């Protein structure tokens, strides 16, 4: 086999493994995707529940403050009853007392309703908080586990990148330029076997004369359809030896 072809095959093997490792490292497992989605959903729910709970408590505090102030006014109004000098003043104080009592009653009733709503929201918030903490922990544990598992893959990837730097030195610049252009255009695959007059890259028949030229191994040849470089193995044993 031509040395230039052997060098391209070796480079292609390195590029195949690099692509495989990069895809694996960049791909997010379904379990991790699902946990991430659940983590984000719970974070939104947690924030919404917390905002709602704080809003309810603020409203309750405002009502309690208002009710306390009106109770003071009620006490003052009741004291006025002993100091009124005529019926007109007496009726005015009674009207004030009635208004204050009604407003206090309505506010205290609203406070009771808010207490029930706050209690229900606190239960929901607690459940969400516990679930969020659980999912956050699972997510971080899975991330850590994946990072630990990927240490060897990253190490191999770095070694392959260094190996590739040496491998390209064995390929002529003109051929390397074509190889890189084809590889980028053809899904990382730039050199393929020709078998039974068929390119195994695009699975199109090659001209009979070209097939003969590839088998002669006098010069490197390209598929006229996909432009990939072509090589030929006489038998499976020879191919297996080259792959190893």
pLDDT at position 236 over 70: no
- Structural contact between residues 46 and 214, judged by C-beta atoms closer than 8 angstroms: no
Proportion of the chain above pLDDT 70, given as a percent = 96
Q: Which residue has the higher pLDDT, 236 or 6?
A: 6
Predicted confidence at residue 235, as pLDDT, reads 62
Predicted confidence at residue 85, as pLDDT, reads 87
Predicted confidence at residue 240, as pLDDT, reads 46
Predicted confidence at residue 243, as pLDDT, reads 47
Question: 100 pLDDT band (50/70/90 cuts)?
Answer: very high
Kindly state the DSSP code that residue 29 receives in the 8-state scheme: P
pLDDT at position 238 over 60: no
Predicted confidence at residue 28, as pLDDT, reads 81
pTM over 0.85: no
Query: Going from the N-terminus, what domains does the chain have, and what CATH number goes with each?
Result: 22-169 (1.10.287.1490), 172-243 (no CATH)
In sequence order, the 6+-apart residues with CB closer than 8 A to the CB of 32 are 139, 142, 143, 146
The per-residue b/e assignment along 149-176, b for 16 or more CB within 10 angstroms, e otherwise, is eeeeeeeebeebeeebeebeeebeeebb
In this structure, the chain runs to a length of 244
Q: How far apart are CA 120 and CA 190, in angstroms?
A: 64
Proportion of the chain above pLDDT 90, given as a percent = 83
């Amino acid at each position: 086999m031509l040395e230039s072809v052997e060098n391209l095959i070796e480079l292609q093997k390195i590029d195949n493994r690099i692509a495989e490792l990069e895809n694996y490292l960049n791909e997010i497992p379904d379990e991790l995707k699902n946990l991430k989605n659940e983590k984000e959903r719970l974070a939104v729910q947690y924030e919404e529940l917390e905002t709602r709970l704080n809003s309810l408590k603020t409203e309750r505090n405002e009502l309690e403050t208002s009710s306390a102030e009106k109770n003071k006014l009620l006490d003052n109004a009741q004291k006025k009853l002993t100091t009124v000098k005529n019926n007109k003043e007496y009726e005015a104080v009674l009207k004030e007392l009635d208004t204050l009592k009604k407003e206090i009653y309505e506010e205290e009733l609203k406070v009771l309703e808010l207490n029930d709503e706050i209690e229900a929201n606190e239960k929901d918030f607690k459940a969400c908080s516990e679930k969020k903490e659980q999912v956050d922990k699972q997510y971080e544990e899975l991330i850590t586990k994946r990072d630990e598992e990927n240490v060897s893959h990253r190490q191999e990837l770095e070694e392959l990148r260094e190996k590739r730097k040496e491998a390209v030195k064995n390929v002529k610049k003109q051929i390397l330029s074509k190889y890189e252009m084809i590889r980028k255009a053809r899904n990382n695959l730039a050199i393929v076997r020709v078998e039974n007059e068929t390119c195994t890259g695009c699975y199109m028949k090659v001209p009979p004369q070209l097939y003969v030229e590839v088998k002669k191994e006098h010069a490197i040849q390209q598929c006229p359809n996909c432009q990939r470089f072509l090589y030929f193995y006489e038998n499976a044993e020879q191919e297996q030896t080259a792959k190893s």
